[in-house]
A and B are shown apart, each in its own frame.
Chain A
Amino acid sequence: MEDPSIDKVAISGPALASMIQRFSTSQGSVDGLIFGHVSHIGPTLTDDSPNSTSSATLIATITGFFCSGSTHSFYNSSGRVDPVLLRRLVQAQAQSPSAHLLGWFSGRRKTHLRPSLREFSVSNALSSNPNLTFPIQNPPEGPSNPNLVPSLFLLFASPITDQTIHTHEYRAYHFRASKHSFEPKSIQIVNIGPAFRAQYENFSPNSPFPNLPFELRVSPMIVDRGEENLDQLRQVNKGQSELDMCSEGLEVGSLSRLMGSEAANYTTGVEDLYEKMLVKIESLTTLVEKSSAKVLEQENLNRKLRYKAARSAALE
């Protein structure tokens, strides 16, 4: 089988940082999927490099990821991929048509930075799945343009003994389906700056604009279709009332106080607005705080229960 080699993996600094953050804040090991596209970069014309054999390169650009927060999110303990779970995850993360499933990642604390048996099996299964192929974004001119398979694997680990220099390690691999083996690849971290200007387009926002059904509530054109739209109308009203609740005390109408005859009270008007905003934010923060505390409490309880269950199981 034709199996083009990916030469480099590019990821934006914030995306990598965010992946590491998800890994380091999770309770245990994590896994997830990575999305992006593979593009083809033509040979660069340089006169003074005699060994410019670097003809054309394939660069995999990671534009998004999904972290499951746990392990075994789309495969079982022997590394067999569950197609239903995988499809559900991929669909839930449906991004723009140019973002394909590139592969997956795994993060495990205090382990060696080498792919494990299970990780090998999962990568092998992913890259041999014929339903997941995708094309190269800007293929070179030529007769054959093979499709690619999700074969990227990012491995995150933390050192077994505490290090003073670094807390996390990562490595990228390209799983070659034809050779059934991992090939380590270098990761290029793309940041904002003059050195990376040429690559900005790879990260240009390509997520679709959220679908906002625009409804003219009093349009005479749709009055006739009233019956079937009643439900829809009710839903819109419900949404509106929820929105109103959020903007309570901050109605657009009050902006009028900043203009015209009432402008004399401009300062008090603005102060009043800010005050209300502050109160709102404060109540929001306490709300968030309370709910986070509850979540943490529940998590702790769950963990205790799990240990208890494990212990009682062992005693039997």
Chain B
Amino acid sequence: MSPETAPPLIAAQLNYLLSHFPLVVKIENKWSGSKYYPGILDRFTLVISYCLDVIKWDIIFDAESPMAAPDVIFGPDDENFQQFLVLRGEEEGDTKSPKNFLNDWNSRDPTQLMLLIQELRDQYMSFQKKRVAEVDDDRLKFEISTIVAREGIEMHMSSGVDKPEEVKFSVPLLDMNINKMVPGCPWKHKQKIYLQVIYPVEKKYVSTPSAPRLKLVSTTELKSIFSIDDVKLPTWLNGMCMAEYLPHLEESLENQVLEAVSLIDVRRRFIEALALQFGRPLEADPVFCRKATFLAASGVFTFLVHVLISTQFPKQQPELMLQSSQHFNSQGAPIKSLFLTEYPWSPRWEIPLMAERICDYLTDEALNFKRYCNEPQLQH
């Protein structure tokens, strides 16, 4: 067997897990526990997203018997999770428990590991919910009672010897399917925006509870149409609760997301307008319309124009970069200009005018760039 591979049956389970798990899951580490074949990987650390953070579980297979069910070692902070699992399994009469997957492990069915992890993660969610419910803090109890009905809410209780006790919520915002709003959307996972709320667990004698720490988090791919960093969170007033805070936030977010989606079309029209000036683009981002590349010529000097359009377009002007088709540096790479952002621009112009002005600007700039290309490339 070639070095550093998992036995086929185990590899099939892992591949299925990685490609079909509805949430983000990664293999952080893989290694071999085999004495005779150190190249056969049978131990894996899975990193599974949970409550805007990750949990790491070790999945232990046995290269000596690849048909056997794996074992799981949970994180050092989750020692009580096993207890929860086992007790719960006894309570529910083993009808719905990870035990069943392990009992009837069928190594020929590649979906087994994914189903096991999914079930374990669901159980982990209930485990954390139970831990949070046990916290003796009146405000927390109230907050939970008002938002627990929200679909997809996750919570996490973090406590440790040298850490302050905190309860972390991940509240999914906006009940809309952003994936469906983007035509031709290539995203595998459903894009979501979450509000992370962290409550410090209050000591009994504190009269005014401190405000929770708030942070907006979005799934990573959403960045191509909407940057969460540009959103300004409303301030949390004293004595506020989440049920009051969330509706305002959601309303303003919804407007911003709708605007961001509509801006895709504005960018598309802009690229189309550029095409009238430069001819058909060599390359363009057809879904999010964030970049396009055109071929241009000034006399015999031909060069490429890269147009990078931010999500803030048209408020923010596009960045331009020129790349020569005829000049190369000592490494053999084509010579490029720096990003050009200082050129006449007004967000109030009509889109055809924007394209026209860029074309005018580049007519002059091409000469500068040509001169720059012909200079001996010393420092490059």
Contacts and interface: CB of A to CB of B under 8 A. Distances in A.
A136 to B, nearest CB: 26
Contacts of A26: 35
B154 interface: no
Nearest to A76: B103
B178 interface: no
Interface in B50-92: 58, 60, 62-69, 71-74, 76, 79-80, 82-83, 85-87
A296 to B, nearest CB: 11
Q: Which of A108, A314, A315 has the most CB of B within 10 A?
A: A314
Nearest to B83: A180
Contacts of A145: none
Contacts, number: 115
Given A27-B35, A28-B62, A307-B7, A111 B73 contact: yes
A115 B74 CA distance: 9
A306 B68 CA distance: 12
B128 interface: no
Interface in B15-57: 31-36, 43
B183 to A, nearest CB: 40
B65 A118 contact: no
A180 B87 contact: yes
A127 B130 CA distance: 25
Contacts of A313: 8-9, 67, 107-108
Interface string A113-130: 011111111001000000
Given A160-B31, A306-B64, A315-B8, A116 B103 contact: no
Contacts of A316: 108
A314 B73 contact: no
Contacts of A180: 83, 86-87
Most chain A CB within a 10 A radius of its CB, from B64, B69, B85, B105: B64
B135 interface: no
B99 A27 contact: no
Given A121-B86, A310-B66, A314-B9, A78 B102 contact: yes
B174 interface: no
Given A28-B63, A117-B73, A121-B86, A310 B33 contact: no
Contact of A77 (B35, B68, B79, B83): B68
B64 A117 contact: no
B83 A78 contact: no
A115 B107 contact: no
Most A C-beta atoms less than 10 A away, residue of B31, B36, B62, B108: B62
Contacts of B85: 117
Interface string A77-121: 111100000000000000000000000000011111011111111
B82 A115 contact: yes
Contacts of B32: 110
Contact of A28 (B11, B65, B73, B80): B65
A315 B9 CA distance: 9
A291 B100 CA distance: 42
Main secondary structure of the interface of A (DSSP, over half): loop
Contacts of A72: 68
A68 interface: no
A133 interface: no
Contacts of A109: 33-35
A71 interface: yes
A311 interface: yes
B82 A120 contact: yes
A147 interface: no
B1 interface: yes
B12 interface: yes
Nearest to A180: B83
A258 B100 CA distance: 73
Contacts of B107: 310, 313
Nearest to A316: B108
Contact of B69 (A77, A108, A115, A160): A77
B33 A108 contact: yes
A310 B103 contact: no
Contacts of B34: 28, 109
A303 interface: yes
A117 B80 contact: no
A181 interface: yes
Contacts of A303: 36, 64
Interface of A: 26-29, 71-72, 76-80, 108-112, 114-121, 124, 160, 180-182, 303, 306-307, 310-311, 313-316
